[in-house]
Structure 1
Amino acid sequence: MEAEEAVKMGFTESLACRMARRLNKEREGEYIDYLKMKLGFEMLLINLNKLVLVYGAAILFHLLWQTLIMHGAYFAIRKTAFGLHASSSMICSISSTAMFVGIPYLCEQYIRFNNIQVGIIGLLATLLLYRYAPADTDKFPLLGKERREKLRKTTTKSSLLIVLIALAIPSPTIKALVLTGILLQVLMILPITYKLLKRSYNNYENYDAKNV
């Protein structure tokens, strides 16, 4: 039975199933516990695969530290601002590699920012984050007004802090990497981006409406 399931599943899902099944058996957990662990393991493995791909490409093109800086700035905002996800794991892997290797390459070769540009663009980005973050998806609606307000405030503070750090760093290249990381995340939460990609926006409203 397990062999038949493994054939129908992809490698990642099959491995997540085996890991969850073994752990759940040791814990003598219920089926719902198995499903939760399976989802957790699957997400972990998928993200590890993406990291290996992105940073492997970064190392190949001698852009490891550049990718780390941009990705760090992006993730610092992403963890509370949320936003769009790719429609499939493969598209996510390809787009992530293009963004987190391609943009650092452009920053290293062509893009430079001075403090005036960082201040103006950083302030605009922060205002957009305050206005539109956090942004959810149809699969992961952000329920609860208080939760959304807390995420908005945290996102705004994180953005201001990162912009201040960028202002204090003397390197124009690092300024560009930090700022493009923020701007990329801003792009992921804008309503126009959702509209262009034909994705539903403010999905929490569908659930709030049911509770009225």
Structure 2
Amino acid sequence: MSSKIIILVLGAFLVAVALLGSIKRKSGKKLLSNKFSVIFGIIGVLMMIFGSYSSDLVNYNTQMEQVSIGAKLKISGPVNAVKTVYPIDKDSVDCRILTMGVYPESHNKDIWVVIRPTDDRYYPQSDHTNTSYKRDGEWQVVTRFGGDKGEAYDLIIYEADSTASSFFSATIAKWKEVDNYPGLQLEEMPPGAREVERLVIYTSKNCRGVF
């Protein structure tokens, strides 16, 4: 258990002690004096605030608020295949965007966004859910770029079976654990992942060292 989680748990415990200590017993006395209840409560709340704002969850939410979205592709008529609506082919994008698209009603596979920068390696994209979020015919996933301004990227959309999704998830987890993201070579891409769309996009600013 990380120190951040321990701080959160201890803070919640102190708040609970403060609340329980303020309850009067049948004799009319409280388990704790008002002074100690207030002290425990304040310390507990401060510990919870510190633990929360230094945790990965809050950091993730902060990143999500900074995700960039630009002009979307307009889709008319029935959706018959997985399609990207943002970004648009040949578009210039920010360092962190929300890649978005649509899928047909009968679609039952996972959707993965993979970027291929100029190093010719493949980087599956993920937020904390790993696979792209799908609901009511729309999908989306946070996509991050780390290259120079104007660098070209292939943004590739894959349909993946359960085996391929597990491979991508395990790969991302391994990269995060050692804080090293070497990318995948083409021959390492799982056979259960099928490319359905490929766009070329460019970074609108220098994104090196952003993440």
TM-score, normalised to structure 1, is 0.27
Q: Which protein, 1 or 2, shows the higher relative CO under an 8 Å CA cutoff with sep ≥ 6?
A: 1
Which has more helix, going by share of residues?
1
Which has more strand, going by share of residues?
2
- Greater gyration radius: 2
